[in-house]
Amino acid sequence: MSEFDVIVVGAGPAGASAAIRLASNKVNVLLVDRADPPGSKNVSGGVLWGDSLSQVIPDWEKSNMLERYVEAKGVTFLTKDSKISIDFRSKKFGEYKSGYTVLRTKFDAWLAKKAKDAGAMVVSGVTVDKLAMKDGKVIGVEQSGETITSDSVILAEGANSRVAYDSGIKKKPEDQKIALGVKEVIKLPEKTITERFGLTSPKMGFASEYVLGFLDGGVKAGGFLYTNRESISIGAVISMGDLRKNNQTYSFNVIEQFKDHPFIAPLIQDGRVEEYSAHLVPEGGMSVDSVYGNGYMIAGDTAGLTFSNGLVLQGMNYAVVSGILAADSFMERKSKGGDMNFENYQKNLENTFVLRDMNNFRGLDQVTWSESIHSTIPAIAEDAMLNIFSENGNPKKHLSQIVISSALKQKDKRKDLAVDLYRMLRRM
Amino acid sequence: MIKIEDRLSLLNYKIDKSYEHITINPSICETCPDHFCTFACPAKCYTLIDEKLNFKYEDCVECGTCDTACSHGSVAWTNTKGGHGVKYKFG
C-alpha cells in the first residue's frame, strides 16, 4: 500500500494544476516543492495566456493575484537606431481571451494554496533527489535516502530538471533546445504605467515581444516587456548557441543593452529595479523521448512544453493543460484498475493544442533564431520605412520598388532569406 | 547600465553554509580553452582571477545554465536542499 496515490514534484502551474485536479476528486496527493514558500524559486516572463486555469479554478479571473489583463499586444523589431512594431489593441480582447500578466512568486503560492484548500498535502522546502524505482516501475520519490511511496509520480519540476536527469528519464539539453531568460522587475507607479502605455484602465496591460537585432557581437536574443499593476517585467531570452559562439558577451549585460535602447529606455524611465532573476527556457518543442513511463508522467517545462514563434512566448498555459491532463490520466487508469503505464496521457495531450502545437510547429525555432529574423528582415524594413516616411525631394517610388531596392542592399543574405521565408511560410 | 553586483544585492538568499550545491573540478577548468561559464552564468558566479577560474555558489540563482554551458564536464550540479538558496519576491 502506497503512502500516496500521487506525488507531484514541483509547485508551478503544471504541478499545482495537477494537484488541485486530483485533490478535488478525492485523490490522496502530495505536492512537494523545493522552495519555501512554494513557488519562490519560480520565474517566468510572464503572461498566462488563455483560460485553461478555469478547468481547475473556475473563478480564477476574480483573483487579486493577477496583475493586468493584456489589452495591447506588441511585436517589435529593434535595430540599433529604429523600432518597427505592430501594436495591436482591440476591444474584442473582451471576447477573444488574451492573457493576464502575473508575478510568479505570488501567483504560484496562491496556486499551491488552492491545492491545499482542495485537500492536497503541500510540503515546501523539501528537495526530491530522484524517482524511486522498483522492478522497472516508479514507486515514489527519494529524498535524503528515504523513499516516500506513491502509485504514480507527476514530474513538474521545471526546465532545470534535476530529478528527471538524475533518474535517467531526460537527457541534458543541447544548446538549440534551451535558451537563457534574464529578467528584471522595475517598480513604477500604477498611474504612470497606465498613462505611459496608453492603457484604458489600471486593470489593463501591455505585453510585447521584441527581436533584438542590435546586440553587441551579433548575439541573438528576444526581448519581452510586460506591464504589471505597479511594475514592469522586462527581460531577454538569449540563444545559448549564439552566446557560446560569441564567447565575449556576458549574459547579464544583454538585458541592459535592451533596457538602454533609445526606444525602450523611455518606457522604464524613473523606474527602480526591484528584482533580478534568471531561468532556463525550453526551446523547439518536446525535450523528452517520452512524456510517460511506468508509474510516472512528465508535465510543463520539464517535458519542454513551451511555444515561441517570435510573435508570442507561451509556457504557463501549456503547463496548466498538461498538469490537468496528467491528473485526468491518472484517474482514468485508477478507475479502470489498470496499470500505471500512462500512454493515455500521451494520447490525451495529442488531442489538445499542447502536442498539436508541438508537432505542427516543429522546426520553427530554426526560423525564430535565424539571421533573417534577427538582422536581414529588420534591416530591409528599416531601410524601406525610411524611404517611405521621409521626404528627400526626389520623385516618389512605388512601394514594391522601395522594398525590392531595400532588399537588394542585403544581397549577401538573399539566399538565406529565401530559405528562411520558405520555412516561415510552411511552419508558421 | 546597472552593475550585476548591484542587481544581485537586491536578492534574498538563505545560504546553506554546510552544502555547496554546485562544485567544479579545478583541474578541468585549468586547461579549459573557452571559460564560457564566465559569460553564460547570469549571476556572475564564475570569474577569472589571474587567469584562474574562481567559483562561488552563494550568488547562484539556480537556473542551471552553467551545467549546460560547460561542455568539458567540470560542473557537478545539484538542487539546493531544505529550502536554501535564492528566494524571489516577484519571480
Average pLDDT of chain A to the nearest whole number: 94
Give yes or no for residue A53 having a pLDDT over 80. yes
Q: Is residue A77 part of a domain?
A: no
Best interface-test mutation with A: which of B1, B61, B63 has the largest number of A CBs within 10 A? Answer: B63
Residues A183 and A52 in one domain: no
Residues A41 and A145 in one domain: yes
Give yes or no for residue A61 having a pLDDT over 90. yes
Residues A319 and A406 in one domain: no
Coil, strand or helix: which one is A275?
A: strand
Q: Is residue A182 part of a domain?
A: yes
Residues A25 and A156 in one domain: yes
Q: Is residue A28 part of a domain?
A: yes
In chain B, which stretches have pLDDT less than 70? none
Give yes or no for residue A416 having a pLDDT over 70. yes
Q: What is the ipTM of this complex?
A: 0.98
What is the pLDDT, as a whole number, of residue A66? 98
Q: Is residue A80 part of a domain?
A: no
**A396 — pLDDT class (breaks 50, 70, 90):** confident
Domains of chain B, by residue range, sit at: 4-87
User: How many residues are present in chain B?
Assistant: 91
Q: Which amino acid does the sequence have at A376?
A: T
Give yes or no for residue A173 having a pLDDT over 70. yes
> Distance (Å, rounded) from C-alpha A151 to C-alpha A1?
9
pLDDT digits 0-9 by tens, A259-307: 999 999 999 999 999 999 999 999 988 999 999 999 999 999 999 999 8
CB contact under 8 A, A125 and B82: yes
- Minimum Cα–Cα distance from B42: chain A residue: A252
Facing A248 at nearest CB: one of B39, B44, B63 = B39
**A372 — pLDDT class (breaks 50, 70, 90):** confident
What is the pLDDT, as a whole number, of residue A428? 66
Question: Average of pLDDT values for A59-63?
Answer: 96
CATH code, domain carrying A223: 3.30.9.90
Residues A312 and A339 in one domain: yes
pTM exceeding the 0.80 threshold for the entire prediction: yes
Residue A81 · residue A39 · CB < 8 Å = no
The Cβ-side half-sphere exposure at B91, using a 13 Å CA radius, reads 23
> Distance (Å, rounded) from C-alpha A21 to C-alpha A18?
5
Best interface-test mutation with B: which of A36, A41, A106 has the largest number of B CBs within 10 A? Answer: A41
Nearest to A139 by CA among A335, A5, A316, A327: A5
Give yes or no for residue A197 having a pLDDT over 70. yes
Q: What nine digits make up the cell of A410?
A: 542585403
pLDDT digits 0-9 by tens, A73-91: 999 999 999 999 999 999 9
- A22 to A112, A149, A318, B50: CA distances (angstroms): 13, 17, 18, 55
Helices H / strands E in chain B, number of each: 4, 6
User: Which residues, 6 or more positions from B50, have their beta carbon under 8 angstroms from its beta carbon?
Assistant: none
> Distance (Å, rounded) from C-alpha A196 to C-alpha A267?
7
**What phi and psi values does residue A15 have, to the nearest 5 degrees?**
-65, -45
Fold (CATH) for B4-87: Alpha-Beta Plaits (3.30.70)
CB contact under 8 A, B8 and A105: no
Residues A135 and A252 in one domain: no
Q: Is residue A75 part of a domain?
A: no
Give yes or no for residue A359 having a pLDDT over 70. yes
End-to-end CA distance of chain A: give it in Å, rounded. Answer: 49
Distance (Å) from the C-alpha of residue B74 to the closest C-alpha of chain A?
15
CB contact under 8 A, A249 and B39: yes
Q: Which residues pair with B87 in a beta bridge?
A: B12
Q: Which amino acid does the sequence have at A9?
A: V
Question: Average of pLDDT values for A34-56?
Answer: 96
Q: Is residue A382 part of a domain?
A: yes
pLDDT digits 0-9 by tens, A303-332: 999 988 777 889 999 999 999 999 999 999
**What phi and psi values does residue A338 have, to the nearest 5 degrees?**
-85, 180
How many distinct structural domains can be found in chain A? 3
Q: What percent of chain A has pLDDT over 70?
A: 100
Percentages of chain A per state (helix, strand, coil), in multiples of 5 = 40, 30, 35
Nearest to A64 by CA among A233, A202, A209, A207: A202
Nearest to A234 by CA among A212, A204, A215: A212
- Chain B residues 51-70 with a CB less than 8 Å from chain A: 61-65, 67-69
Nearest to A183 by CA among A236, A262, A257: A236
Q: Which stretch of A223-227, A410-414, B43-47 has the lowest confidence by average pLDDT?
A: A410-414
**What phi and psi values does residue A130 have, to the nearest 5 degrees?**
-165, 175
Residues A241 and A316 in one domain: no
Q: Is residue A188 part of a domain?
A: yes
Question: Average of pLDDT values for A34-59?
Answer: 96
Q: Which domain holds residue A185?
A: 178-282
Question: Average of pLDDT values for A214-230?
Answer: 94
